[in-house]
């Protein structure tokens, strides 16, 4: 906007009082524009710094993550917020797993009844890495436990199917097959064409724990083996065909030169090598053990041993104890589906399971803005995670590429917006009626570690925490489209959004559930109403190219403005938002591990991992959703 020149004013055919009015408000309009520019400058400064290479992608265990924490803490203090919260600091520290690997002293044997009366017990020694492997989500410990076959390890009320019905697995090692009954059966009571929410390892572990099992032994299901063998066989056949084709071509030459013969010899060697590779893979496909990391969950280990075991060995035990094969049991299960669970009488698993975990100290960063009046003991939380994937690894879309994943949208954008909301509220003349706690979470990408830690160790009681607003990936506003999850988690949230939004001009896309792949899930699991703001996914998601230049800073300013208004509305409302229980949406379920392992089992209560009581759907129902 420009000021009008005197001569321009003279030529305007406007009444004098209109001109005077214009003159009065023009500087005001200009101030508003300056103010917007200043907000955008601050947002850009924060996001640019947090997403700079200096901060190394803010991975767990990097110096960059600590620098980010210091930056956030510095801003909170600069705005005059209360930051002497944990031993005089804004840092809520705890230990997080940085890496997990199988220990060196894993040993396992299956010990069974003697073949002849008075003889020695049967003993099947398992070789680590060939016959069995601990899984990344395993705890460590000695085992000497009776074995029980528990089918697919599924308890599915709606489908009226329970592998544990009438089965006592207390203090036993349960043998569980991967996936679920009736696969590729269009009439399956489960998904049939894909895997249902009962298939993931985490779900099966929770279920085993609920039934008081003391260890879990996973093995491949017959369907999976057939599928992998068929696929591998195709590749093996293709390699063989290529070899035959090459040979046929060569035979057509009437008198090949020495050069041509030498070239052919080399080519044949390569092709034979290729056939051999597929030959080995074909053999392995018949009874593979999964990689250590296959089930995810390295950051949220269970209290009990979890191993993966070759099927052939368990088959031997099934035939010894039950006089039948695993395949026969699976076929019987499929016919109902009807569980075929039973103790593997006389057989025990004996050994030691060890997973080594390296830990690092990590921290949430917090700041408090106190409220005033009778509602001042109620708390509203505004949060955003500040960690990202660091140099890549398992959470990356390019897991084998070692490159800084700057995480500008995910989630430097959310932190920048969090800081701006904090600043605006801190500068308000009038105090809010409720307290606002600003939280920058760590370890989100490792499975909501920071938010999970906070709800277990809150600054102010969870019962008096009236709502949580989360921002994760708010830097890519396109066509005004803003996704707000959790719109049905409190009685009036959807209404509130509709009331506030018109002056902000977003195309709101409201999703009802409070469960999703970001930190709000930890709060919603504690029955706290949540709203989660998100500008949508994109092709740089969890890739090294999620860089500052791709951010829509104007969009971030608009999100900050909307969130600020919602914070004020909730903080000053007569009544606190009323929690409403909403079942998780059914995501495009399918995998056996939650999407990139970043969605933990938030439904556990106490030291173990039980699934009942907290949510209406299981954690696996969140599997397959986009992780933020």
The window from 30-38, 39-47, 140-148, 404-412 that contacts Zn ion (CB under 5 A) reads 404-412
Nearer to Zn ion, 146 or 394 (CB): 394
Cβ neighbours of residue 126 closer than 8 Å, sequence gap 6 or more = 107, 108, 109, 110, 132, 309, 310, 313, 351
DSSP structure class, residue 540:
T
Smallest gap, in angstroms, from Cβ of residue 418 to Zn ion?
13
The window from 307-315, 465-473, 504-512, 519-527 that contacts Zn ion (CB under 5 A) reads 465-473
Nearer to Zn ion, 378 or 410 (CB): 410
The reply on whether position 472 binds Zn ion by CB under 5 A is: yes
Smallest gap, in angstroms, from Cβ of residue 527 to Zn ion?
23
Smallest gap, in angstroms, from Cβ of residue 419 to Zn ion?
16
DSSP-H helix ranges across 286-384:
311-322, 326-335
Residue from 56, 131, 410, 420 touching Zn ion (CB under 5 A): that is 410
Determine the Cα–Cα distance for residues 482 and 413; give it in Å rounded to an integer. Answer: 14
Number of residues that bind Zn ion (CB under 5 A): 4
Smallest gap, in angstroms, from Cβ of residue 451 to Zn ion?
11
The reply on whether position 411 binds Zn ion by CB under 5 A is: yes
Smallest gap, in angstroms, from Cβ of residue 320 to Zn ion?
50
Interface pattern 100-139 for Zn ion (x via CB under 5 A): ----------------------------------------
The window from 158-166, 211-219, 294-302, 408-416 that contacts Zn ion (CB under 5 A) reads 408-416
DSSP structure class, residue 200:
S
In DSSP terms, 579 is beta-bridged to 490
Smallest gap, in angstroms, from Cβ of residue 385 to Zn ion?
6
Closest CA to 490 of 546, 462, 532, 457: 532
In DSSP terms, 532 is beta-bridged to 470, 485
First vs last C-alpha separation in the chain: 39
The window from 225-233, 245-253, 402-410, 602-610 that contacts Zn ion (CB under 5 A) reads 402-410
Smallest gap, in angstroms, from Cβ of residue 75 to Zn ion?
20
The reply on whether position 516 binds Zn ion by CB under 5 A is: no
The window from 11-19, 191-199, 398-406, 469-477 that contacts Zn ion (CB under 5 A) reads 469-477
Closest CA to 164 of 339, 346, 349: 339
Rounded alpha-carbon distances, angstroms, from residue 237 to 271, 276, 282, 595: 12, 11, 10, 33
Determine the Cα–Cα distance for residues 221 and 423; give it in Å rounded to an integer. Answer: 55
Nearer to Zn ion, 83 or 411 (CB): 411
The reply on whether position 487 binds Zn ion by CB under 5 A is: no
469 close to 380: Cβ distance less than 8 angstroms: yes
Beta strands in 54-121 (DSSP E): 91-102, 107-112
Smallest gap, in angstroms, from Cβ of residue 406 to Zn ion?
13
Token pair 């029955």 is at which residue? 527
328 close to 177: Cβ distance less than 8 angstroms: no
The window from 56-64, 467-475, 522-530, 568-576 that contacts Zn ion (CB under 5 A) reads 467-475
Nearer to Zn ion, 131 or 410 (CB): 410
Smallest gap, in angstroms, from Cβ of residue 217 to Zn ion?
34
194 close to 173: Cβ distance less than 8 angstroms: no
Taking CB atoms, the residue at the shortest distance from Zn ion is 628
Q: Taking CB under 5 A as the criterion, which residues in 609-628 touch Zn ion?
A: 628
The reply on whether position 409 binds Zn ion by CB under 5 A is: no
- Cα 553 to chain center, whole Å? 27
Closest CA to 144 of 353, 306, 350, 352: 350
Say if strands 141-149 and 132-134 run parallel, antiparallel, or are unpaired.
unpaired
Residues found near Zn ion in the complex (CB under 5 A): 410-411, 472, 628
């Amino acid at each position: 906007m420009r000021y009008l020149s005197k001569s321009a004013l003279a030529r305007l055919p406007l009444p004098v009082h209109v001109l005077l009015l214009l003159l009065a408000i023009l500087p005001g309009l200009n101030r508003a524009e300056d103010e917007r520019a200043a907000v955008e400058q601050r947002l850009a400064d924060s996001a640019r710094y947090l997403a700079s290479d200096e901060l190394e992608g803010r991975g767990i265990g990097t110096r960059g993550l600590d620098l980010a924490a210091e930056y956030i803490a510095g801003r909170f203090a600069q705005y005059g917020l209360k930051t002497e919260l944990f031993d005089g600091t804004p840092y809520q520290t705890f230990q997080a797993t940085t890496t997990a690997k199988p220990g060196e002293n894993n040993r396992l044997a299956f010990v069974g009844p003697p073949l002849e009366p008075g003889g020695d017990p049967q003993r099947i020694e398992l070789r680590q890495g060939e016959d069995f492997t601990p899984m990344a989500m395993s705890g460590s410990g000695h085992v000497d436990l009776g074995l029980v076959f528990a089918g697919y390890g599924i308890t599915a009320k709606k489908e009226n199917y329970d592998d544990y019905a009438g089965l006592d697995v207390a203090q036993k090692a349960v043998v569980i097959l991967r996936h679920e009954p009736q696969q590729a059966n269009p009439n399956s009571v489960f998904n049939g064409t894909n895997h249902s929410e009962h298939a993931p390892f985490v779900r099966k572990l929770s279920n085993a724990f609920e039934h008081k099992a003391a260890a879990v032994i996973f093995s491949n299901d017959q369907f999976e083996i057939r599928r992998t063998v068929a696929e591998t066989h195709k590749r093996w056949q293709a390699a063989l065909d290529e070899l035959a084709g090459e040979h046929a071509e060569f035979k057509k030459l009437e008198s090949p030169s020495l050069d041509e013969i030498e070239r052919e010899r080399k080519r044949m060697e390569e092709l034979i090598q290729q056939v051999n590779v597929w030959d080995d893979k074909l053999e392995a496909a018949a009874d593979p053990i999964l990689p250590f990391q296959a089930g995810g969950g390295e950051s949220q280990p269970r209290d009990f041993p979890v191993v993966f075991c070759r099927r052939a060995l368990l088959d031997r035990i099934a035939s010894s104890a039950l006089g039948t094969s695993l395949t026969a049991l699976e076929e019987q299960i499929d016919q109902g589906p009807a569980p075929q669970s039973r103790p593997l009488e006389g057989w025990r698993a004996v050994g030691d399971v060890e997973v080594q975990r390296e830990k690092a100290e990590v921290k949430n960063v917090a700041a408090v803005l106190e409220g005033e009046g009778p509602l001042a003991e109620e708390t509203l939380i505004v949060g955003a995670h500040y960690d990202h994937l660091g140099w890549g690894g398992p959470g990356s879309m390019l897991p084998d590429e070692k490159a800084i994943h700057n995480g500008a949208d995910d989630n430097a954008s959310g932190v920048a917006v969090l800081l701006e909301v904090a600043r605006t509220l801190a500068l308000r003349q009038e105090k809010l009626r409720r307290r606002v706690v600003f939280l920058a979470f760590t370890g989100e990408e490792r499975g909501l570690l920071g938010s999970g830690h906070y709800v277990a160790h809150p600054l102010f009681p969870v019962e008096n925490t009236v709502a949580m607003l989360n921002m994760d990936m708010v830097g890519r506003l396109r066509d005004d489209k803003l996704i707000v999850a959790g719109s049905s988690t409190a009685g009036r949230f959807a209404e509130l959004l509709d009331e506030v939004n018109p002056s902000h001009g977003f195309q709101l896309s409201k999703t009802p559930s409070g469960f999703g792949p970001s930190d709000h899930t930890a709060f919603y699991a504690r029955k706290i109403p949540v709203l989660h703001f998100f500008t949508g996914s994109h092709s740089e998601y969890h890739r090294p190219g999620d860089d500052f230049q791709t951010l829509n800073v104007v969009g971030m300013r608009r999100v900050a403005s909307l969130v600020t208004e919602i914070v004020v509305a909730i903080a000053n409302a007569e009544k606190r938002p009323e929690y409403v229980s909403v079942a998780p949406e059914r995501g495009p379920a399918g995998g056996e591990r939650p999407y990139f392992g970043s969605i933990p089992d938030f439904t556990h209560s106490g030291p173990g991992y039980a699934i009942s009581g907290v949510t209406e759907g299981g954690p696996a129902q969140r599997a397959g959703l986009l992780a933020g």
